[in-house]
Chains A and B, each alone.
Chain A
Amino acid sequence: MIRHTLRSLATLLFAALIGSIVVFVLVHMLGGDVVTVLLGREAAPKDVQFMRQKLGIDRPLVVQYLHWLRGVATGDLGTSYGMGYDIFHEIVRRMGPTLILTLGGLLISIPLSLVLGTYSAINAKKVRGGIVDVVAQVGISIPAFWAGLLLVLVFGVRLGWLPTGGYVPFSDDPLGSIRSMILPVMALSLGVTAVFTRYVRTAMIDVMNEDFIRSAMARGRTRRGAALVHGVRNASIPLVTVAALQFGQLIAGAVVIENVFVLPGIGRLIVTATLGREVIVVQSLALVIMLIVLVLNFLVDIAYGFLDPRIRDKEAANA
């Protein structure tokens, strides 16, 4: 078990390191740097060189990368070139809207998909089960930004019930904060719910063919009762795993949603930092996101070790 944990941890750190190198190289391949953004079209080459020197981006790329990596090792992500903000503090500040968005999306998607997926599985051979399935398929195929725009037009512009965009911190106005996040969370959770519903449906159909369901029904449970009492519990365990693994997808969805709803979260910071060629901000963000996703994967991996006796047995056999 310890060996399994250590191996997973080493893989996590190695993956994060490789990921940060890939991001570093890709951002540099885009062309242009933060000085191009700052000075714009007007600057003379000598002034561009002066600014590059001032910001330390005239050094070889390897030196720049290692300098950043040394900072990371000591817990210092550095400061942004343009606005001069502390990157770590900025990421923490931006986590609020993104966590509300992603966790809110998960909190809505998981129970909703359990209900819809189970309903669809129980009624798999009936029209109403098929309808849920078709709706889930449609949900998967609707892009998040389009769903967001439709929600804005209906609930923001047409009905005027909810804000069309912007973020209100909870500390400033709790009700305003909740209202500002309703549409973004709905837009983000739509596709995720659809994916989870399909997953729960498939898992439930499998579970419904298990012996223990037949046993429960033989003891007098109805098919629906057996599904709800015994089936949902079994089908939902892998759903939690999938939800953890889907977190990366949720962050990707947050990039789109935060831009549609003008939310100052991590996703928007990724876009503005990339467009502004704030290389160390992009690198740091990529590292943090990768670590979050990898830690979740790591925890799932560890959980498998505990939950699945076959992994423990394999470890013992190899020892």
Chain B
Amino acid sequence: MKLFQQTGRRGRRRLGVTLVAALAVAGWTGGTATARVQRPASTADRSKTLIATLPQEPASWNYWEVGANALRVPTFYNVQETLVEDKPDGSIVPMLAESWTISDDGLTYTFKIRTAKFHDGSDLDSADVVYSMKKNAESPLSKLSAPHQNVASVTAVDARTVQIVLKQPSASFLKELGNSAGYVVPDKFLEEHDAKKEMIGTGPYVFSDYKPDTSLTLKRFDGYWGTKPFFETIDWRFVDDETAALNGLLAGEYDFVTSVLAEGIERVATFSKDTKFKVLFESAGEVSYLWLNTTKKEFQDQRVRQAIAHAINRDEAIAVYDGYADPTCLMVVPYAEPYNSDYCPYTYDPEKSKALLKEAGYENLEIDYPFANVASHPFTMEVLTQQLGAVGIKVKSRSQELTTWLDKTWAQGDYGMSEIRDSANILQYGCKGGREPLGKSHPLCVKEFEDKLAVADSNTDPQKYQAAMSDLVKTFADLAWVTVISAPKVPQIMRANLDGIQEVRINNAVDVRSAHWTG
């Protein structure tokens, strides 16, 4: 108390000087401790660590039972590898199988397994591949198991040769082995390891240190069979708030923000103009679409479905992504598949839409529209509600938290229509037994589409396969149960001198195998 009493003008001045000094010290330490360490200033002192943000974190690292993209984003290709590799142009190249042959009847696939090591030091051989394929077939995730339902047998011919025999020819089978269905892990991995917390693969990076809600660290694998990557460490940071991620990038704490999906979209243009940063518009292996409940009476009338499709102005709808999307009418994933085209049976035509509704007797149509309140979905909801409203359709939108949406809307089917971004291939839209991406309770079962789907996949001649797939996606668009809106391009923002990040995201992976600093 005496101190207070004696604190006169001189004392206050002293206090002020102390405060300024403290702030100055804080400022000085700020410049040296974190910011400068993480900001490579020149080629000489550039770090061999890449710090990248991820918007989501998986509930567990068990690849066998976790369907979230969040698991594949940092680990696919980087930690875990597959039998073959799917390329953005639709081609398939060797990965853990260095070569393969397919019998003339299209039923027997013989894979030559390359010499490689797992991260636990064990050698890859046929037994690992046979175990992995059989385990994948048992997975509760259809992405892993569905392609194996057509497998009659998997056998190890010798230590380096594996033979897979199909029940019937499938044009997509080999491609699926470049997806999660082709994951290869050490023999008995799931029985002998806690797959929730560890991941053992053959990829260029070792799953090293995971801190929940904070980070996942990958360390370069010295025993990698392929070209060793540039970065010694990949430090994935879980930052679900885009604003925080972009602020961290500006402050030099992160090198790479892997996905800008929501509120950060508005800042993309600013980053594009800043020479210190680079924006890569990744052609995501996804399309955005609205789909209708197949059990609703009003949608059984194709004119109503066509009216809805005609009401959608795709050029306007891509404003949701600030224009960073390609308007499209076809369900082609990845977008670069050769059978893609600009075919569009129901272009934007509000007058035609109104006329179709009148003709069908649904001028006062009301649609229940639950939407997931994450990423771009709320913005898309606003656009669709306005566009459908313009033709007289009253949309009753309901906001749902993502898991609630997955349960109530997706699994239980409590909806009239909804919207989603999906990476599922058209072949997985088959009626029952497939992956049924139109919701678990109301699959799409249309004979015309089913017949074409069966023919397309059993076609082993590449040219005929492409033609059949082209026909299939057009038929799907014609049916109008699903109205594809766009193929969004996800902005990835990084330091200007970061190179080698892929522009097409395959299997949801952020592939950092070729990432490096440039001069």
Binding site for B on A (CB under 8 A): 30-34, 36-45, 47-48, 50-51, 81-85, 90, 149, 152-153, 156-157, 159-167, 173, 175-176, 179, 182, 225, 228-229, 259-262, 264, 268-269, 272, 275-278
Contact = CB atoms under 8 A, between A and B. Distances in A.
A152 B239 CA distance: 15
Given A149-B243, A179-B34, A264-B211, A162 B68 contact: no
A259 B143 CA distance: 32
Given A84-B60, A161-B26, A31 B250 contact: no
A84 B5 CA distance: 59
B167 interface: no
8 nearest A-B pairs in the assembled complex, by CB-CB distance: A40-B67, A47-B140, A32-B407, A82-B59, A161-B30, A32-B403, A31-B404, A264-B213
Interface of B: 1, 4-5, 26-27, 29-31, 33-35, 57-61, 65-68, 140-143, 194, 196-197, 211-214, 237-241, 243-244, 247-248, 250-253, 400-404, 406-408, 410-411, 422, 435, 437, 440
A58 to B, nearest CB: 14
Contacts of A30: 401, 403-404
Contacts of B401: 30, 275
A157 B440 contact: no
Contacts of A153: 247
A189 to B, nearest CB: 16
A165 B248 contact: yes
Given A39-B140, A179-B33, A157 B251 contact: yes
Given A83-B196, A153-B247, A262-B237, A228 B59 contact: no
B30 A41 contact: no
A164 B5 contact: no
A85 B60 CA distance: 10
Contacts of A34: 59
A236 to B, nearest CB: 13
B302 to A, nearest CB: 26
Contacts of B213: 264, 268-269, 272
Given A40-B68, A179-B33, A50 B140 contact: yes
Contacts of A176: 33-34
Contacts of A41: 67, 406, 410, 422, 437
B437 A260 contact: no
Contacts, number: 168
A163 B197 contact: no
Given A149-B243, A157-B251, A160-B30, 12 more contacts: A31-B403, A31-B404, A40-B66, A161-B30, A165-B239, A166-B253, A176-B33, A179-B33, A179-B34, A228-B4, A275-B403, A277-B403
A160 B251 contact: yes
Given A157-B250, A259-B241, A264-B214, A82 B60 contact: yes
Contacts of B437: 41
A163 B140 contact: no
Nearest to B142: A42
Contact of A43 (B58, B67, B238, B250): B67
Nearest to B239: A262
A225 B5 contact: yes
A300 to B, nearest CB: 26
A157 B33 contact: no
A37 B59 contact: yes
Given A31-B408, A83-B212, A51 B65 contact: yes
A167 B410 CA distance: 37
A162 B400 CA distance: 36
A272 B238 CA distance: 12
Contacts of A36: 403, 406-407, 411
Contacts of A166: 214, 237, 248, 253
A259 B243 CA distance: 11
B141 A165 contact: no
Contacts of A268: 213
Nearest to A160: B35
Contacts of B141: 39-40, 42-43, 47
A167 B238 CA distance: 12
Contacts of B435: 42
Nearest to A51: B140
Indicate the member of A259, A262, A277 with the most B CB atoms within 10 Å. Answer: A262
A83 B247 contact: no
B283 to A, nearest CB: 22
Nearest to B28: A161
A213 B410 CA distance: 69
Nearest to A261: B244
Contacts of B404: 30-32
A43 B439 CA distance: 11
B472 to A, nearest CB: 21
Nearest to B67: A40
Contacts of B66: 38-40, 82
B438 to A, nearest CB: 10
A229 B27 contact: no
A83 B59 contact: yes
Contacts of B252: 160
16 contacts: A31-B403, A31-B407, A36-B406, A37-B59, A40-B141, A51-B140, A83-B60, A84-B194, A85-B212, A157-B247, A159-B30, A163-B34, A164-B251, A166-B237, A179-B34, A268-B213
A33 B251 contact: no
A174 to B, nearest CB: 11
B145 to A, nearest CB: 8
A161 B27 contact: yes
A25 B176 CA distance: 42
A224 to B, nearest CB: 9
Nearest to B196: A84
A182 B403 contact: no
A38 B59 contact: yes
B29 A179 contact: yes
A39 B247 contact: no
A260 B59 contact: no
B142 A43 contact: yes
A164 B403 contact: no
Nearest to A85: B212
Contacts of B34: 163, 176, 179
A178 B239 CA distance: 21
A36 B237 CA distance: 24
Given A42-B143, A47-B140, A179-B30, A156 B407 contact: no
A146 to B, nearest CB: 11
Given A32-B407, A43-B67, A275-B402, A175 B59 contact: no
Nearest to A115: B4
A37 B29 CA distance: 42
Nearest to B238: A262
A71 B65 CA distance: 27
